Amino acid sequence: MSTVSSPAVPRTNYGAIAIVGALFFIFGFVTWLNGPLIQFAKLAFNVSDSLAFLIPFAFYISYFCLALPSSSILRKTGMKKGMAIGLFAMAVGAVVFGQYTTGRVYAGAVTGVFIIGAGLAILQTASNPYISILGPIEGAAQRIAVMGICNKLAGMLAPIVIGAVVMHGMGDLAAQVDAADAATKEQLLNEFAARIHDPYMLMAGLLALLAVGILFSPLPELRAEDVNAESSSGISKKTSITQYPHVWLGALCIFVYVGAEVMAGDAIGTYGAGFDLPLDQTKFFTSFTLGAMLVGYLVGLVLIPRFISQERWLAISAILGVAFTVGAFVTHGMTSVAFVAALGFANAMMWPAIFPLAIQGLGRFTEQGSALLIMGISGGAIIPQLFVHLKETMNFQLVFLLLMVPCYLYILFFATRGHNIGR
C-alpha cells in the first residue's frame, strides 16, 4: 500500500509554506501564553493552583468540543476560508479575555480563553493537514518541523513579552498584596489585572487583520482526497473513518503527547515552585522548554527524512522522554527543572511525526481524521489537571513521573507498531 501525491500539488511551494508558517507563529504565541497566564491568574484573581489551571484546561478542552464541528465547517468553506474563520474567532476570544480580566471576572476570563482555543481548533484542523498534504506525505514531518520552528520561536517570545509588559515586578507585588489591608489589596490587584487589557486588544486587532489577509492570500485550495489517497489509483475502497484504526490510535497518541508537552511547557513554572524557587524566575521557565524544542526542531529538520524516517525519530524521541523524566525525578532544584525543560527537545518532533503518520492514506476522510487528532489536543487539559490535583496529596516529582512515563511509552508503541495497524 502506498501513498502518492497528486501531480497538481507542487513539490515545493515556498509562498504557501511561508503564509502557513506565519499562522503557526501566531497560534504558537497565543498557545504558549498559557504557562505565564497560570501565574498571572493566581495573583490577579487570587485563586489556588487548581483554579489557575482552569486557564490551560479551558484552552485545550475547547479542541475536544470544537474539532468535529470544525471539520464540518471546513467541508463547507474549504481550508483557506476555514483558517480565516478560526482567526476571527480567536480575535473575539482575545477581546472577551481582555475585558473580563480587566474587570477581574474569572469565569469571563476563562470563557475568553475557551473561545481563543475554539478558534485555534478550527485553524489547526485546517492548517495541520494542509501543510501535511502540501507536498509528499513522506516529507510532511520536515515541513511541519519548519512550522514548529515558527511556533516555538513565537512561544519563546510569548513569556518574555507578557513577562515584560504585564507580569513585571510580580514578586514584589505579591508581597505587597500579602501585607495590605482588604481595600488596598483590591486596588493593587485591580491595577495589576488591568495591565492585560491593551496587549489583548492589540492582539485581537492583529488577528482580525490577519484573517482578512488570509482570505485574499494566494494560498492554493487543496482537496485532501486528491493528494492523500490510500491506493495508487487515488481511490479508497473504504467507506468510513472507523475502517482506519491507525487514525484512532494516532488521536490517542496526540492526547498523551500534548498532555506531556503542556506538562513540560506550561506546568514547568508550577513544578519549579515546588522547590520554592522565586516567582520572578519561574515565570520564565516556559521559555527554557521552548528553547529546547527549537533545538529539537532544527535537528529534526536536518535529519528527517534524509537520514532517518519520521517514525524512527519518533521512537527515539519517546525513549528520550522517558530518560529525561526519570532524570527530573532523581534530581532536585534547578537541575530537576533543567531535565523538565529538556523534555522540550524530546517533544519537538513528536507532533510533526504523529500527525502525518496518523492521517496517511485517509483520502476523502482526511478532514474528519484531522478533527479526531485535533480532539486529542484535549490531553493538554486533562493530564495537567491530574498533576495539579494529585500533587496536593503526593510528592509532585513522583506525580510528574507517574503521569509522564506512560505517555512516552504509548508514543513509543505508536511509533513502532501503532501507526501501521490496519494499513
Q: Coil, helix or strand for 332?
A: coil
pTM: 0.77
Counting every residue, how long is the chain?
A: 423
Domain ranges within the chain, ordered by starting residue? 14-420
Q: What is the DSSP letter of 235?
A: -
CB atoms within 10 A of CB 166: 23
Q: Which three cell numbers stand for residue 34?
A: 498559557
| Helix residue spans in 279-309 (DSSP H) | 279-282, 285-303
CB distance 416 to 323 below 8 Å = no
How far is 269 from 159, CA to CA, in rounded Å?
11
Match 519520521 to its residue by C-alpha cell: 310
CB distance 265 to 290 below 8 Å = yes
Listed residue (205, 252, 198, 292) closest to 411, CA to CA: 252
CATH architecture of 14-420: Up-down Bundle (1.20)
Q: What is the DSSP letter of 229?
A: B
Listed residue (144, 112, 115) closest to 127, CA to CA: 144
Q: What is the DSSP letter of 299?
A: H
Under 8 Å CB-to-CB from 134, ≥6 apart: which residues?
9, 13, 16, 17, 20, 143, 222
Q: DSSP characters for 86-110?
A: HHHHHHHHHHHHHHHHHTT-HHHHH
pLDDT by residue for the chain (423 residues), tens digit each?
334 444 444 455 667 778 888 888 887 888 888 888 988 999 999 898 889 999 999 999 998 888 888 878 877 888 788 889 999 999 999 999 999 999 999 999 999 999 999 998 888 877 776 776 666 655 666 677 778 778 778 877 888 888 888 888 887 888 888 888 889 999 999 999 999 999 999 999 999 998 998 888 877 765 555 545 554 444 456 777 878 899 999 999 999 999 999 999 888 888 988 888 887 777 778 888 988 988 998 888 888 778 888 889 999 999 999 999 999 999 999 999 999 999 999 998 898 889 888 888 787 777 778 888 888 989 999 999 999 999 999 999 999 999 999 999 999 999 999 888 877
Q: Which three cell numbers stand for residue 19?
A: 503564509
CB distance 354 to 131 below 8 Å = no
Quick check: bond before 136 cis, omega within 30?
no
